[in-house]
Chain A
Amino acid sequence: MPEPSPPQPPAGSSAPNSALAPEPRRSIVIRFAGDSGDGMQLAGTQFTDTSAVFGNDVATFPDFPAEIRAPAGTVAGVSGFQVHFAADDIFHPGDKVDALIAMNPAAFKAHISDVDHGGIVIVNEDEFTKTNLKKAGYEVPEGQKDPVNPLDDQSLSVNYRLYRVPITKQTQQVLKESGLDPRSVNRCRNMWALGLVYWLFDRPLDTTEQHLHETFAVRKKKPEVAEANIKALHAGWNFGETAEIIAERYTVHPAEIKPGLYRKVTGNEALAMGLITAGQLAEKRVIYCTYPITPASDILHSLAPMKHYGVKTVQAEDEIAAVCMAIGASFAGQLGVTGTSGPGLALKAEAMGLAVVTELPLVVVNVQRGGPSTGLPTKTEQSDLLQAMFGRNGDAPCVVIAPRSPADCFHAAIDACRVAMQHMVPVILLTDGYIANGSEPWLVPKADDFGKIEVRHAAKPDKGDTFLPYQRDENLVRPWAVPGDEGLMHRLGGLEKQDVTGNVSYDPENHQTMTDLRHAKVIKLAEHKTLIPDLEVLQGDESGDLLVLGWGGTYGSIATAVSRAREKGLSVSQAHLRHLNPMPANTGDVLAKFKKVLIPELNTGQLRLLIRGKFLVDAEGLNKVQGKPFLVEELSDAITKSLG
């Protein structure tokens, strides 16, 4: 093997040296695509980690099929992972792909249309066989025997920079003496491809080498697998350097990121850490009761090993049992949390109503996915907002909080737990598949950055007095009395409670009073700016022609689109609602200062309905339900159109 020649490494990198100097770019979007068994998620994650360690800002978007192993080679079975890495701050995983790595015809077919005109397309040409082309659905033209090979299409080379690389053969060649069986050898193709991509984008190999060593040699005790993967990784890099098939290289210099210690987190990981943190700050056990459901299960997977933090996890028999267990845990004085996705939220509705009436702390995480019904389990959507707001029988208000990015899930989880415990109210944490699985760099905080979460429990009544479980404080919050405490015995339930005493009451006036109180308690939260801060205009003037108002996981794409529109001189501002119920106290005032309000949502207009209803603002919508996040371009077009 020829050694990489003369050293000219970019500053701050330990990338191997190449004869071909890379051309610097501000940002690049690449996408790995292959069969769901091809290890594309690993390749993508590794590229992300490497770029993050290198100092880029990164944003990712994994996209995988609902089937664990859909029929190999079919378009339905294609798994993709998109990485946006940049020398500037970025908020979203990118619209158009600058470079696609397609491991088979199905991956090529599913993703080619997303590649930017003139973009790089690397295909594993060994897999473009007749069988695989057929599996991918390429048709056999009339009077011919073989299916069309899209790589033979002349227009492809006109529209893209196509590189046909024999990834399978090269991997087999380099590992022929590894002693691994052919199947295991083929499983190293992703690392070979990653090595080539590292060469192409001037990335160091050490982060991935270390990961492969840790995973295979240390944890799985298979040093030969670690060695083979590392060998494949280097071979891919060397192929780029020596084969002279690709005559271009790029680099993205480190971004101006606030100095400090970082780690990459997904939304689900950050949310799990937020729950643990809240438990510690409140000196409560987190009791996380849940039923596995995509895309929320990773929260359970993150919490289950955290028993040394006092966390108890229960995998319940179903969604209903899970929420009931969480409520039971809160009744018993700990922090009951349940997590799910849309269909599960529907099943939990009745029990959540009970938590509303019994006024117990409860946190319900809903990682939204495409609906209705089973819908698109692995795809993202924001269509559970109205379910979170109103999806229970009776008037049953819950607090609703929606984090805006993967890292924000951490803070939102702490906020949700604080509100639930301090205000004795169920809180719905509304994330989505996009931020749950997407990742971004997270500035590692210090424990000392956080103040305690003060939790008050009911005091024993004076001798002769009876305990009144529904006597409220100035915030309309009832006392949290915990079994085991003397003198506070009381009985809760879903039958309407008598004001103050908490006894069963069928009195009509009392029902009115209690309904009003439950509503007022939630509304009153907005008086506490520390809990529900004012709505801020994040970009642009406090008044103007257009306010783009978003909520939840669409933040990054909207921020980018508004920023671009402002660079063009347009009078556009951005605001983002994190608190959906109650909304910040000044929301109406902020909206009133703009001639127009545009609300982009990944649903058919749910926030718009709320905003129009609450504030009589004639807001416009940009609505999309394709299981995918907004492209910046789509938002830019809507902004232009709205102003036009």
Chain B
Amino acid sequence: MPETKLPVLKAKDYATDQDVRWCPGCGDYAILNAAQRVAQALQLKRENTVFVSGIGCSSRFPYYMNTYGFHSIHGRAPGFVTGIKVANPGLDVWMVTGDGDGLSIGGNHMMHLLRRNVDVNILLFNNRVYGLTKGQYSPTSQQGMKTKSTPYGSLDFPVDPCQVALAAGASFVARSTDKDRGLVPTMQAGAEHRGAAFVEIYQNCNIFNDGAFEELTGKDTREDTVVYLEHGKPLVFGKDRDRGVRMLGLRPEVVTLGKDGVAEDDLIVHDQTNRSLAMMLATLHPEFDDGGNNLGFPEPLGVLYAEPRECYEDLVQQQVDAAVEQRGAGNLDALFNAGDTYTID
């Protein structure tokens, strides 16, 4: 049979004619660009794709994607996403949220979206600040952060998005940054995963929290502050690829290859199907002293965890199909006549 050639879509075909209204220099631009590139790489059918968001800077995203879109209300995007997928499991649904939208006002919904494993690609833009309301601290802000609402420093202990996602039972958890070379492949891995794919993206808010991720994204520093996770590969990092992470008993530690007899074989080998390992990796973060030296761990970027599990909307559909098979498609007369009927003559 002759194959019909479908028109090949370019990245710009996924962009709308709307002016993008993020602040100049915002990390969101890079993420939008990456999303359009992933869409292009996967040749997503635009009419079959829906971008859903909540409220916040990141949540303007759907207006800029030439697909179906729904800019919903603060924190509730998971509800809309679930309803859309239950109504039509065939749609390709993306959810764009932020640290405030997804983890503060919508934290509860995020947990349930993940545990149900609705097939949705979640992009959580984490800039560790409230941008749209002009600079208050967010649930991921570092303790002590001085903002308009916390002139003496914030008191709240920050929440860790990837740990939350794993604890909630997410079937895919990954992390990247707005400037990272791994952003497109990480987002693409999430998009290809069937189930709730949680991708945390560190995103620079150049107005209210500029440089929050500088060490992770700066050309000079990033190789020493980031470890790229690859399934089946050891955790090696550093400009000279001479450092790694190993387990000492139940504690992870940073080691230098060749020093004290440490070899690559001693390092943790990443296994993205190992939930316990993923949990541990999610706890690793750098800690910088005043001189910018990292006293902690490298930040793991890439896919922390990926293990397919049945999707909620498929299970819902299966119950419907099974009921139809067992009982036959319901007809109204049977519905009306069910129960105890009686005749009045």
Are A and B physically bound partners? yes
Q: Which residues of A contact B (CB under 8 A)?
A: 49, 52-53, 55, 207, 211, 254, 257-265, 273, 276-277, 280, 285, 287, 289, 306-312, 314, 316-318, 320-334, 336, 350-351, 354, 358, 444-447, 450, 483-495, 503-504
Q: Are A484 and B71 in contact (CB under 8 A)?
A: no
27 examples of A-B residue contacts, CB within 8 angstroms: A55-B344, A207-B340, A259-B343, A263-B337, A263-B339, A264-B339, A264-B340, A273-B336, A276-B330, A306-B330, A307-B322, A308-B320, A309-B329, A312-B316, A317-B111, A330-B87, A332-B83, A334-B87, A336-B83, A336-B87, A484-B88, A485-B47, A491-B65, A492-B70, A493-B72, A495-B71, A503-B18
Q: Counting CB contacts under 8 A, is B333 at the interface?
A: yes
A265, A321, A450: the one within 8 Å of B112 (CB): A321
Q: Are A321 and B76 in contact (CB under 8 A)?
A: yes
A324, A444, A484: the one within 8 Å of B91 (CB): A484
Q: Are A332 and B91 in contact (CB under 8 A)?
A: yes
Q: Counting CB contacts under 8 A, is B323 at the interface?
A: yes
Q: Are B62 and A484 in contact (CB under 8 A)?
A: no
Instruction: Please name the residue on chain A nearest to B330 by beta carbon.
Output: A309
Instruction: Please name the residue on chain B nearest to A504 by beta carbon.
Output: B63
Q: How far is the CB of B146 from chain A (nearest CB, A)?
A: 31
Q: Are B332 and A447 in contact (CB under 8 A)?
A: yes
With A289-B83, A307-B323 known, 15 other A-B pairs at CB within 8 A are: A55-B344, A307-B319, A308-B328, A314-B83, A322-B79, A324-B72, A327-B72, A327-B83, A331-B70, A332-B87, A332-B88, A351-B79, A484-B47, A490-B68, A493-B69
A207, A324, A328, A490: the one within 8 Å of B87 (CB): A328
Q: Are A444 and B341 in contact (CB under 8 A)?
A: yes
Q: Are A489 and B79 in contact (CB under 8 A)?
A: no
Chain B residues near A351 (CB-CB < 8 A): 73, 76, 79
Most buried by A among B18, B80, B324: B80
Q: Counting CB contacts under 8 A, is B248 at the interface?
A: no
Chain A residues near B319 (CB-CB < 8 A): 307
- A261-B341, A325-B79, A445-B336 as given contacts; A331 in contact with B323, CB under 8 Å: no
Question: What's the Cα separation between A283 and B323 when bound, in Å?
Answer: 18
- A316-B79, A483-B47, A483-B50 as given contacts; A328 in contact with B71, CB under 8 Å: no
Chain A residues near B341 (CB-CB < 8 A): 261-263, 444
B51, B63, B343: the one within 8 Å of A261 (CB): B343
Number of A-B contacts (CB under 8 A): 218
Chain B residues near A263 (CB-CB < 8 A): 337, 339-342
Chain B residues near A311 (CB-CB < 8 A): 320
Q: Counting CB contacts under 8 A, is B327 at the interface?
A: yes
Question: What's the Cα separation between A489 and B14 when bound, in Å?
Answer: 11
B50, B79, B90, B329: the one within 8 Å of A323 (CB): B79
A317, A318, A484, A495: the one within 8 Å of B48 (CB): A484
Instruction: Please name the residue on chain B nearest to A277 by beta carbon.
Output: B332
Q: Which residues of B contact A (CB under 8 A)?
A: 16, 18, 46-52, 55, 62-63, 65-73, 76, 78-88, 90-91, 108-109, 111-112, 316-317, 319-320, 322-324, 326-333, 335-337, 339-345
Chain A residues near B49 (CB-CB < 8 A): 483
Chain B residues near A260 (CB-CB < 8 A): 343-344
Instruction: Please name the residue on chain B nearest to A269 by beta carbon.
Output: B339
Q: Are A259 and B344 in contact (CB under 8 A)?
A: yes
Q: How far is the CB of B103 from chain A (nearest CB, A)?
A: 15
Question: What's the Cα separation between A330 and B52 when bound, in Å?
Answer: 14
Chain A residues near B327 (CB-CB < 8 A): 308
Chain B residues near A312 (CB-CB < 8 A): 86-87, 316-317, 320
A55, A450, A493: the one within 8 Å of B70 (CB): A493
Lowest 7 CB-CB distances: which A-B pairs, in order? Answer: A328-B83, A324-B79, A493-B71, A491-B69, A325-B83, A309-B330, A307-B323
Q: How far is the CB of B187 from chain A (nearest CB, A)?
A: 20
Most buried by B among A262, A307, A450: A307
Q: Are B330 and A486 in contact (CB under 8 A)?
A: no
Q: How far is the CB of A213 from chain B (nearest CB, A)?
A: 13
Q: How far is the CB of A321 from chain B (nearest CB, A)?
A: 4
Instruction: Please name the residue on chain B nearest to A311 by beta carbon.
Output: B320
Question: What's the Cα separation between A621 and B342 when bound, in Å?
Answer: 41
Instruction: Please name the residue on chain B nearest to A360 by beta carbon.
Output: B70
Question: What's the Cα separation between A446 and B337 when bound, in Å?
Answer: 9
Chain B residues near A317 (CB-CB < 8 A): 108-109, 111-112
Chain A residues near B90 (CB-CB < 8 A): 484
Chain B residues near A447 (CB-CB < 8 A): 331-333, 336
Q: How far is the CB of A205 from chain B (nearest CB, A)?
A: 15
- A318-B108, A328-B81, A354-B72 as given contacts; A287 in contact with B335, CB under 8 Å: no
Chain A residues near B63 (CB-CB < 8 A): 491, 493, 504
- A53-B342, A260-B343, A325-B82 as given contacts; A277 in contact with B335, CB under 8 Å: yes
Instruction: Please name the residue on chain A nearest to B74 by beta carbon.
Output: A350
Instruction: Please name the residue on chain A nearest to B80 by beta carbon.
Output: A328
Question: What's the Cα separation between A312 and B89 when bound, in Å?
Answer: 12
A307, A445, A494, A504: the one within 8 Å of B320 (CB): A307
Chain B residues near A254 (CB-CB < 8 A): 344
Question: What's the Cα separation between A354 and B18 when bound, in Å?
Answer: 22
Q: How far is the CB of A226 from chain B (nearest CB, A)?
A: 17
Chain A residues near B111 (CB-CB < 8 A): 317
Instruction: Please name the residue on chain B nearest to A503 by beta carbon.
Output: B18
Question: What's the Cα separation between A273 and B252 when bound, in Å?
Answer: 59
